[in-house]
Structure 1
């Protein structure tokens, strides 16, 4: 008497199941190691520096003004908003 339907039986696909299980386990272990390393090193991943020296005193306001001027030139902000933000930046420089 035949116990299977003639399509290779239940054991025919077992190798595929085990392959998926092993690959899935390896991927999970790699992801966990990466998350653990990121947590231990304190890396934020957003490209910002952690620690190190601060930028020169005049660098930040100058770059802020450049960004504001670029946004105004692209038309992202109105003349009134540009003037208000520029005034705020200049007050912060003092």
Structure 2
């Protein structure tokens, strides 16, 4: 009788335990995917800076080289933005 009870336990308990482990694993994987998907949707990247036209790029280069001073740079930048 003990052998019969042990076989019943093996045939019922082991498949249930296996099913339980698989189910918990799938639930965990699903919540992790949802969490990463929400995090990616919630945080958009920073906006791209506006592209510089050739004149503004040249103005910045001249200022960086020290060819023009700050006041001249700012005035010409204002003029270019108009």
Shorter chain as denominator, the TM-score bin is 0.3 to 0.5
Q: Name the structure with the higher helix share.
A: 2
Larger RCO, structures 1/2 (Cα 8 Å, 6+ apart)? 2
TM-score (norm 2): 0.41
